[in-house]
Amino acid sequence: MPYVTVGKENSGNIDIYYEDFGAGQPIVLIHGFPLSGHSWEKQVAVLLDKGYRVITYDRRGFGNSSQPSFGYDYDTFADDLNTLIAKLDLRDVVLVGFSMGTGEVTRYLGYGSERVSKAVLMAPMPPFLLKTDDNPEGVDRSVFDGIMKSIVEDRPAYLSAFLKDFYNVDVLLGDRISKDAIQASWNVAAGASAKGTLDCVPSWLTDFRDDLPHIDVPTLIIHGDSDRILPFDSTAKRLPQLIKDSRLVVISGGPHAINWTHAEQVNPLLLNFLKGN
């Protein structure tokens, strides 16, 4: 399995696992919490069939990557992404982020877009999730405190509850999501770093408002109007005014995990955007 080393902790390397398939323009798919690069399976096959080179990777602490005790912040996440892009010498890249992965895309492009031609923010986290005096559209801090408390008390039970809202199971089970797919997601999430899972929560409160004006590539934003994890009004709805060359598409009835439950709508949007339409 291929890895790129992004640092060290004591006597061990910190390695990021990645998969690199196909040929053509490179598309880097950046997964959401608390899953892995394999959560893109409904997009990978389609992109390969259309002649793209597809790269997925597992965020530190998740999937097959190392599980260090530190580095669960967006400066480090963006550095990890940059190390992978540099190692593979990718150019004319399209960065596609889902949920937490949209933070990597935003922070990376905040540094510059020399190697990047386009970006996709799917179920995005930016601009700023935390409710403050100058960000009244945000979410109360007590919500995030409660999440951290639940993770510490019983992480497996928290993950089960989280995935119900991730997929809107009460509405979509048996139609757009199966019990088997939910169990597979839980297995991946439960195998992640316990500390990394906890430490990711404060990273969700990152203020990306200074990064967004630096995004100077065409950007597609996709969000479900029934997203229970990242509320539309706090996130995607605000982005067209903050990203110069952007387009927002709302998936009717879409939960958070639209790349899985609504792949038949998401994939054509993605392919059309890649073709320049």
* SS3 per-residue string spanning 67-93: CCCCCCCHHHHHHHHHHHHHHCCCCCE
As given in the structure block, the two tokens for residue 153 are 């008390």
Q: Point out the catalytic residue in the list 185, 211, 227, 246.
A: 227
Instruction: For tokens 């196909």, name the residue.
Output: 22
Check if 227 is active-site. yes
Distances 109 to 47, 91, 97, 118 between C-alpha atoms, Å: 23, 14, 12, 10
Letter for the amino acid at 31?
A: H
**Are residues 94 and 120 in contact, defined by beta-carbon separation less than 8 angstroms?**
yes
Beta strands in 183-264 (DSSP E): 219-224, 246-251
Q: Point out the catalytic residue in the list 39, 65, 66, 99.
A: 99
Cα atoms in the Cβ-side hemisphere of radius 13 Å centred on 145 = 3
Check if 38 is active-site. no
Q: Point out the catalytic residue in the list 66, 193, 211, 256.
A: 256
As given in the structure block, the two tokens for residue 129 are 């999730």
The closest of 121, 89, 74 to 230, measured between CA atoms, is: 121
Q: What is the DSSP letter of 58?
A: P
Cα(185)–Cα(187) distance, rounded to whole angstroms?
5
Check if 31 is active-site. no
Q: Give catalytic residues, as residue numbers.
A: 99, 227, 256
